[in-house]
Chain A
Amino acid sequence: MELLYGSQGSQKTQSGYINMLNNSKQQNFSTLRFATKDFKPPKYMHCHDRHTTKIWQTAMESDRVQWIIQQVVREESKSEEDVKQEAEHILKELAFTDHMTILRMLGYVLFKVLHSIYHDGVFINIETVKKLKDMIKHHPVVFMPSHRSYMDFTILSVVCFYLDLPLPAIAAGMDFMGMKVMGSVLRACGAFYMRRSFGTDRLYWALFTEYVHTILINGDRPMEFFIEGTRSRCGKSLNPKFGLLSVIAEPYLKAQTYDVLLIPISISYDRLLEEGLYGYELLGIPKPKESTSGLVKASSILRDNYGSVHVNFCDHISLRKYFGHLDRAVHACYPRYMLRLSSEEQKYMEILGYKIVLQQQHNMNYTPWAVMALVLSQHPHGMDMGCLIEETIWLKIIMDKCKIKVNWSTGSVQDIVQANLKKFKHLIEVEGPCNDVPKSIVRVSGITHEVKGHKTFSSNLDPTTIQETVNHIIIGNYRNQLLHHFVRPSLIAFSLLRRSGRSCPGTQFNPDTLLPDFKFLRDLLVREFIFEPKKLNDDLKQGLQFLVQCNAVVLEGFNSFILEKQANKLLQFLKSIFSVFLGGYWLTIQFLLNSTETHLQPTLPGKVQKWIAGILRNPGVEHEMLSLHMISNALHALVGLGYLSVYRVDNQKIVQPIQDQLVGAASKIAQFIDIPYLDGTQATKLGSTAAKL
């Protein structure tokens, strides 16, 4: 490694990153050297070396599994032989293997692939990794990467190999296992497969839990899992899932390990491989089944340049420190293999989940393109280039003030904007006089490059609607990467602008008066953005802080703020970013109010989508509102608020609107935004009253 990546190879950039693909000029040479390099990762001090088969055997012999097997035998009157066989089968399906040669071969291929698609490099924040190497010796660690692409875990494994970090055991989704060759190849590199939902199958749950525990406790490898549960298809972080997190925390809480260190990792991409796939998926067009041949076909698109990737290892979270105030002796009076966490532990587990996601979010890297997407998405019908540049510059200033780090490459903003428009020409069309650049019109392209394997016919939407919508969704996704920085001040903006529509400089306000609006909007958008539960006041404070940093407001006296001259532009901007969400939510409510049918939960978002597609030409209705993700977030939020109730009839979940509440919510939303237009036939009696309010 020294030879190859030493002096000139792994020079740190100013910002503390090294570029793993630095030797691209002598690519073939370095790829081979990479794959055959020495690999001497640090080892957890209490780790006993063992073969991978021993790992699943240990899980099999564990008290928990034996106990559950006995239960199943007794209660489902099966023979012990059968249940054991079933268990063994599940474990083999689950387990990873360990083949260094396959891994090196895969490393070879992957390294090549990375070279060919990420022309600008794969960057790693090396200082944190150095500390991590030492910590790995003392405690079991869990990698918790953000999850926005299939590339996440391949990149992370290659990075580990490159940096001599131990290769993780990766809790991967079953969909990968289906892939013929790749399934086993990934398994050979540490992936183990978990079913998406196994909440009810106790045998599966026990086996999975013990499998994870034995790896964690013995520290064979770092564990790796995605706290968001699934890939985020929309550029934003998803709310954390707590199941696997509890499995990870249990050995510490039950004193089977001294500590466990969680390492959130933010992986950011300049351009996602899946950008098109996601665009379609969010519209409800089924993704092609993961298959190796699919991957190979997809590899034809791998010829493009996807810019760079940033892998940011965040500061670790020690479970021992985090749960330090809870007495683990609460688990002393029953066998440890019975899953039982105290209500306190559950409570803090949830907060921990949010803490991790927030930390991932915080350490993301942003490209100028995301900033441009933020501007472009405000102008769905296009804007002139001059305006785009101007607004991008304005945003850059705002973001600099708030210390939001964007990788502005060198050169003028104008150059950067134009370079990016070229990079993303598959999404954007530019037309107009080539001699007068500022006057040329930039707009979202209506021509999409059909992604192979997509079955558009199975959708609720007609092909033309799909065609003209996909790129809006994709650009929205790039914009989404940034939104968590803006959401808190923007909720304040909504509140400040609610009555007057504009803000007058010199207006004084007490933040407490903002709270009811802030809370309403925050509750409504809980599914859309990451808000730590019960941190309403902190969120408000953060929002105010943002506005203070941007010189939009100043603190006056003890608990009162004054609006500055330049506040209005910022507030209007903040309002307009998030209006599309509130508009989409409002339409969802209108549909619920208008419709007289009974709704089954699984099909409801599709129906809402279809209805919105029908009124797509109405003023105020935007393409993005067709996103099923947005619609189902809206529905979930409404359920959470108690505006919808869900009940079961014959194993089917039925959604029941609660009229008064929904009418109230709709009229409240209408106070914050210019609501989309609905004419009399589109909105029935209820809808129109609500609309007028």
Chain B
Amino acid sequence: MMTDGSASDRPVIDAQKVGLTFQTADGPVHALKDVNLRVLKGDFVSFIGPSGCGKTTFLRAVAALEHPTEGRLLVNGMTPEEARKRRAYGYVFQAAGLYPWRTIAGNIRLPLEIMGFSRPEQDRRVKDVLQLVELEGFGKKYPWQLSGGMQQRASIARALAFDADILLMDEPFGALDEIVRDRLNEALLKLWARTGKTIGFVTHSIPEAVYLSTRIVVMSPRPGRITDVIESPLPRERPLDIRDSAEFIAIAHRVRDGLRAGHSYDD
């Protein structure tokens, strides 16, 4: 995977001593403190930790939606703003957030229109990503005509449409039921294998993190920080039943221990 020379050696996301403090009416909130992390091209990195530990804040900082108050954060070797201008990433929020007045195809077209792709190019890309998320034939439907899981798939397609090589996902399947979530996880792994994208994925679920990731970043709150980074020994090819394997269970244990060590469940 990492054989194509210098570009791969440079981390896609490079955080050095990143801190981010929100000034609020009740005083400063240290959402992130001393966060060091390097994400390489093609990595699937999950962020796991109790709510309030800064997972969302970190992802938003990578997306230039928040600005670190300390340290240095680089995306593709650039500042997050520059990276955004170069369409470095697609962002998937917890809610699909599709525009009700646009069809599914129209929603996927949205970033393409904003970025000024030609009409034929838009059509081609919409068709491609619809196929990628297995929503062929749903382009002309309106969002309310689709199930929650299908809507979330459409929102992933929207994030993929403009060929960003980083996909940032903030609890994208958090609102979906277990069965749908399993299927989407499987689909996401396939999509990752086919596209070779770098994925940053926030989750609350230990099995989800272990099943999906090449690396699992365990975080703890007050102040938000990284307590453990676990390299997964699992192969990239992962059938769903890998979750019953001893290796899988061992990693899950380590994640759970990491979460405990961060005495993160004191609330």
Chain B associates with chain A: no
A residues apposed to B, CB below 8 Å? none
Binding site for A on B (CB under 8 A): none
